[in-house]
Structure 1
């Protein structure tokens, strides 16, 4: 069958019922022919719709119309999605552009250090009304106390303060409007070894529990999620290789070993 419909159908059915009205219902059946493909759910309680089938190209792709593969690119910019009946969708117009050069994606990761995390919750309305200022003060105080207590400078460790319930997920992409009712504060420390990461988190412990804003005339008590407050996460990793490599053949970069087994009756 043509590569365009075959690749497009494969992209959709790899997630099973995600393109149906009941994603938990099970798999789907795709029938590919020379002009396109039809797709329908296996469950009698679910249905495929043009919108749901088309929307699956938004999933795990950088471009909703083009998906690059080692030997070419799936192009669905001219694809048409039509309801055949109440449960089946017909897709035509998918194309596959064969690449001039076969490529392989090369990825690699390395250990960046060891992490320790602590998490506290804030419900104090005064702190929440100025949560950005409080978080900035927390960062400054942690840096100062770490240097005073164990002599570490900024280049010897790293930490991040994430405000869940306020901006931890999208950050500045979604500016906060008004004070939230409660915020979870996650402190994530990264250091060359686990003991140092935990030591930094322990120094931050009283700040995560009782840090007031400069204008407060009382000492707040916040709420740690765990006891002990420090959770050692072990080694942390980051991507260091994310490249496209030219390959003479699809298997050129991969070592293949064959072993011949002899059956003994």
Structure 2
């Protein structure tokens, strides 16, 4: 019998088609798996140990999935809980689950898989030569990291499922681990398990209707079959094969704990207008390593935003910013005694090159330009003070000494906003383990009355 995995969405909090989910539940899956996040949005979630997604959105969608789990009578698994998978966000997700179980009158056994790493463990692994840098990798400084996580693989999810848990709330995992775990446990083809998990990791993104969310994958000893659950969606050999490039620079190889997936020989066949069959993927065993992610505070930020609409200034915005920056550098040094090594001041022209910078290539002048000033300093009070110092000049500074003072628009008052800590990624390494559970731990809880076996 194939192992049937239902994936409701690419991430909890993004939404999914409820009719499609109901259709998937009716097809009697063996497990329901969903991802909780990634590093896509930058280092803040990991550094602060906070979810990117709102608690209200997370709870409303998790409610639906807990109801689906109860109806299907199968485990429900979330990986990288709370966007970043820190211990604090696993607990945050556990609190939401506890609330919902009580509101829904459900009795559930919950396994929490923690991925957080103490500094001492990493230090010992470094000393033993068990930590290897990836590319690119920063120099390791363990003294100021706010959070460190290791990416769990299939083995850790299998250990959590082995507890008999109804719900598994996992810390940081690879995007594919939750989906691949049960097929591998059932003895399905390892290459197909990892390949199918990669295809399904983002839900219906591998289909012609990505926003529908819900996808079903059947795994067996020869490969896998993928089918979207929304009536308006279809999987094609192109949409399925193309997903190997998603967040992966190599379309043929994908590294996971314990080896890598090779899809060089994979064959994609359309079974009908909706389903695609894939065979020929291979799993190549290797050393058991887990990726390490860490973040640290790199400073504190204040921003300021002004709008240029005067055609003269719009046309010469880059020159104005260059002149303004030079002037402000002198003012900050003379009034605050700070040199450029003590802070950074960057202006981005929104509507011109705010995203691509010097790589931008466009013709014609926009009607208006947003000027975003970003101040980074060693403390929030210093960043805020610089923001207040430059405020009047961002509003009135002239393009040349011979013209009268201009007036620009601030979209809100005050024009400055204190953003708080700025985090940066500080680890991009792998750590070798002698046992898959060596760097992870599982804690169990029972919510509601235990149901007799």
Match of 1:142 in 2: 328
| 1:110 correspondence with 2:317 | no
| Aligned partner of 1:184 among 357, 370, 374 | 370
Deviations 1:132-160 (A, max 9, x none): 22222222122111112212111111222
Whole-angstrom distance in 2 between the partners of 1:19 and 1:193: 44
| Aligned partner of 1:242 among 415, 428, 433 | 428
Query: Are 1:162 and 1:186, in contact at CA under 8 Å, matched by a contact in 2?
Result: yes
Superposed counterparts of 1:1-150, under 5 Å: 1-99=188-286, 101-150=287-336
Match of 2:75 in 1: none
Deviations 1:10-53 (A, max 9, x none): 11222212222222223111112333221111111211122222
Instruction: Mark the runs of 5 or more structure 1 residues left unpaired by the alignment.
Output: none
Please report how far the alpha carbon of residue 122 of structure 1 lies from its aligned counterpart in structure 2 after TM superposition: 1.7
Classify the secondary structure of the residue corresponding to 1:142.
helix
Query: Are 1:119 and 1:229, in contact at CA under 8 Å, matched by a contact in 2?
Result: yes
Whole-angstrom distance in 1 between the partners of 2:230 and 2:444: 42
TM-score, normalised by the number of residues in structure 2: 0.53
Classify the secondary structure of the residue corresponding to 2:212.
coil
TM-score, normalised by the number of residues in structure 1: 0.88
Superposed counterparts of 1:143-162, under 5 Å: 143-162=329-348
After alignment, is 214-223 or 202-211 more displaced? 214-223
Deviations 1:195-250 (A, max 9, x none): 11011111111222122222773332222122101111111111222211222121
**Structure (1 or 2) with the larger CA radius of gyration:** 1
Query: Are 1:13 and 1:27, in contact at CA under 8 Å, matched by a contact in 2?
Result: no
Task: Indicate how the Cα distance of structure 1 residues 255 and 77 shifts in structure 2: closer, same or farther if over 3 A, else same.
Answer: same
| Aligned partner of 1:253 among 439, 442, 445 | 439
Whole-angstrom distance in 1 between the partners of 2:444 and 2:279: 42
Whole-angstrom distance in 2 between the partners of 1:253 and 1:173: 42
| 1:221 correspondence with 2:404 | no
Please report how far the alpha carbon of residue 254 of structure 1 lies from its aligned counterpart in structure 2 after TM superposition: 3.4
Task: Indicate how the Cα distance of structure 1 residues 118 and 3 shifts in structure 2: closer, same or farther if over 3 A, else same.
Answer: same
Whole-angstrom distance in 2 between the partners of 1:87 and 1:105: 35
Task: Indicate how the Cα distance of structure 1 residues 190 and 96 shifts in structure 2: closer, same or farther if over 3 A, else same.
Answer: same
Normalized per residue, which structure has more helix? Answer: 2
Instruction: Mark the runs of 5 or more structure 2 residues left unpaired by the alignment.
Output: 1-187
Task: Indicate how the Cα distance of structure 1 residues 41 and 210 shifts in structure 2: closer, same or farther if over 3 A, else same.
Answer: same
Count of residues in Structure 1 that have an aligned counterpart in Structure 2:
259
Give RMSD over aligned pairs. Answer: 2.2
Classify the secondary structure of the residue corresponding to 1:238.
strand
Query: Are 2:301 and 2:421, in contact at CA under 8 Å, matched by a contact in 1?
Result: yes
Whole-angstrom distance in 2 between the partners of 1:216 and 1:18: 57
Task: Indicate how the Cα distance of structure 1 residues 50 and 255 shifts in structure 2: closer, same or farther if over 3 A, else same.
Answer: closer
